[in-house]
Protein backbone atom coordinates (compact mmCIF):
# COMPACT_ATOMS: atom_id res chain seq x y z
CA UNK A 1 0.00 0.00 0.00
CA UNK A 2 3.00 2.25 -0.32
CA UNK A 3 1.69 3.68 -3.62
CA UNK A 4 -1.56 4.78 -2.00
CA UNK A 5 -1.95 8.57 -2.14
CA UNK A 6 -3.09 9.71 1.33
CA UNK A 7 -4.33 13.02 -0.07
CA UNK A 8 -7.00 11.47 -2.32
CA UNK A 9 -10.65 11.69 -1.37
CA UNK A 10 -12.38 8.93 0.53
CA UNK A 11 -14.87 6.76 -1.30
CA UNK A 12 -18.48 5.90 -0.51
CA UNK A 13 -17.31 3.69 2.36
CA UNK A 14 -15.83 6.83 3.98
CA UNK A 15 -12.49 5.09 4.55
CA UNK A 16 -9.70 7.59 4.13
CA UNK A 17 -6.64 6.55 2.10
CA UNK A 18 -4.58 8.21 4.84
CA UNK A 19 -6.09 5.91 7.49
CA UNK A 20 -5.63 2.83 5.30
CA UNK A 21 -2.02 3.79 4.67
CA UNK A 22 -1.36 4.24 8.39
CA UNK A 23 -2.94 0.87 9.18
CA UNK A 24 -1.40 -0.99 6.21
CA UNK A 25 0.37 -3.57 8.39
CA UNK A 26 -2.92 -4.57 10.02
CA UNK A 27 -5.17 -4.31 6.96
CA UNK A 28 -2.97 -5.68 4.15
CA UNK A 29 -3.46 -9.37 5.09
CA UNK A 30 -7.27 -9.01 5.07
CA UNK A 31 -7.24 -7.10 1.78
CA UNK A 32 -4.98 -9.76 0.27
CA UNK A 33 -7.48 -12.46 1.22
CA UNK A 34 -10.37 -10.43 -0.22
CA UNK A 35 -8.49 -9.72 -3.46
CA UNK A 36 -7.46 -13.35 -3.92
CA UNK A 37 -10.97 -14.62 -3.20
CA UNK A 38 -12.38 -12.17 -5.74
CA UNK A 39 -9.85 -13.25 -8.37
CA UNK A 40 -10.42 -16.96 -7.65
CA UNK A 41 -14.20 -16.75 -7.86
CA UNK A 42 -14.48 -14.01 -10.49
CA UNK A 43 -16.87 -12.17 -8.20
CA UNK A 44 -16.35 -8.55 -7.22
CA UNK A 45 -18.07 -7.49 -3.97
CA UNK A 46 -21.31 -5.64 -4.78
CA UNK A 47 -20.42 -2.61 -2.72
CA UNK A 48 -17.21 -2.17 -4.74
CA UNK A 49 -19.38 -1.48 -7.78
CA UNK A 50 -21.00 1.57 -6.20
CA UNK A 51 -19.49 5.01 -6.58
CA UNK A 52 -20.22 8.53 -5.52
CA UNK A 53 -20.14 11.09 -8.33
CA UNK A 54 -19.36 14.63 -7.31
CA UNK A 55 -18.76 17.82 -9.33
CA UNK A 56 -15.23 19.23 -9.41
CA UNK A 57 -14.75 22.85 -10.41
CA UNK A 58 -12.39 23.41 -13.37
CA UNK A 59 -12.04 27.17 -13.87
CA UNK A 60 -14.07 30.19 -14.85
CA UNK A 61 -17.48 31.12 -13.54
CA UNK A 62 -18.70 28.88 -10.75
CA UNK A 63 -22.30 29.62 -11.75
CA UNK A 64 -21.94 27.74 -15.08
CA UNK A 65 -22.50 23.97 -14.94
CA UNK A 66 -20.12 23.54 -17.90
CA UNK A 67 -17.24 24.67 -15.67
CA UNK A 68 -17.50 21.49 -13.60
CA UNK A 69 -16.44 17.95 -14.41
CA UNK A 70 -17.70 14.79 -12.74
CA UNK A 71 -15.38 12.95 -10.38
CA UNK A 72 -16.21 9.36 -9.53
CA UNK A 73 -15.22 8.33 -6.03
CA UNK A 74 -14.93 4.58 -5.57
CA UNK A 75 -13.81 2.49 -2.64
CA UNK A 76 -10.10 2.55 -1.91
CA UNK A 77 -10.00 -1.26 -1.79
CA UNK A 78 -11.38 -1.54 -5.34
CA UNK A 79 -8.87 1.06 -6.56
CA UNK A 80 -6.03 -0.88 -4.95
CA UNK A 81 -7.13 -4.13 -6.56
CA UNK A 82 -7.44 -2.41 -9.94
CA UNK A 83 -3.95 -0.94 -9.57
CA UNK A 84 -2.50 -4.34 -8.67
CA UNK A 85 -4.15 -5.99 -11.69
CA UNK A 86 -3.04 -3.20 -14.04
CA UNK A 87 0.51 -3.34 -12.73
CA UNK A 88 0.72 -7.10 -13.27
CA UNK A 89 -0.74 -6.89 -16.77
CA UNK A 90 1.66 -4.11 -17.76
CA UNK A 91 4.63 -6.02 -16.32
CA UNK A 92 3.59 -9.04 -18.41
CA UNK A 93 3.25 -6.94 -21.56
CA UNK A 94 6.64 -5.31 -20.99
CA UNK A 95 8.38 -8.60 -20.18
CA UNK A 96 7.05 -10.25 -23.35
CA UNK A 97 7.37 -7.16 -25.61
CA UNK A 98 3.68 -7.32 -26.50
CA UNK A 99 3.08 -3.59 -26.88
CA UNK A 100 4.19 -1.63 -29.91
CA UNK A 101 6.29 1.51 -29.27
CA UNK A 102 3.42 3.64 -30.63
CA UNK A 103 1.30 2.51 -27.69
CA UNK A 104 2.80 5.11 -25.40
CA UNK A 105 -0.13 7.17 -24.16
CA UNK A 106 -0.84 5.06 -21.10
CA UNK A 107 2.69 3.80 -20.36
CA UNK A 108 5.24 5.33 -18.05
CA UNK A 109 8.70 6.10 -19.43
CA UNK A 110 7.41 6.05 -23.03
CA UNK A 111 7.16 9.47 -24.63
CA UNK A 112 6.08 10.52 -28.10
CA UNK A 113 9.69 10.99 -29.14
CA UNK A 114 12.00 8.36 -30.67
CA UNK A 115 9.33 5.77 -31.48
CA UNK A 116 9.71 3.32 -34.36
CA UNK A 117 6.90 1.93 -36.45
CA UNK A 118 5.43 -1.45 -35.65
CA UNK A 119 6.31 -4.27 -38.01
- pLDDT tens digits for 41-76? 999 999 888 888 989 999 999 999 999 999 988 898
Q: What is the DSSP letter of 46?
A: G
67 three-state secondary structure: helix
- pLDDT tens digits for 7-37? 888 888 888 888 888 888 998 999 999 999 9
Beta carbons of 32 and 81 less than 8 angstroms apart: no
DSSP string, 47-66: GGG--EEEEEE-SS-TT-GG
Q: In the chain, what are the domain boundaries? A: 17-95
- pLDDT category of residue 1 using cuts at 50, 70 and 90: low
Residues 6+ apart with CB under 8 A from 10: 16, 17, 73, 76
Global confidence as pTM: 0.71
CA-to-CA separations, 9 to 17, 22, 44, 52, 75, in angstroms, rounded: 7, 15, 22, 11, 10
Amino acid sequence: MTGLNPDKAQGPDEISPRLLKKLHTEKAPNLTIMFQRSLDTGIVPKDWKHARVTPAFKKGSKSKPSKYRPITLTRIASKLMGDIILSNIMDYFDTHNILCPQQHGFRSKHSLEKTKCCA
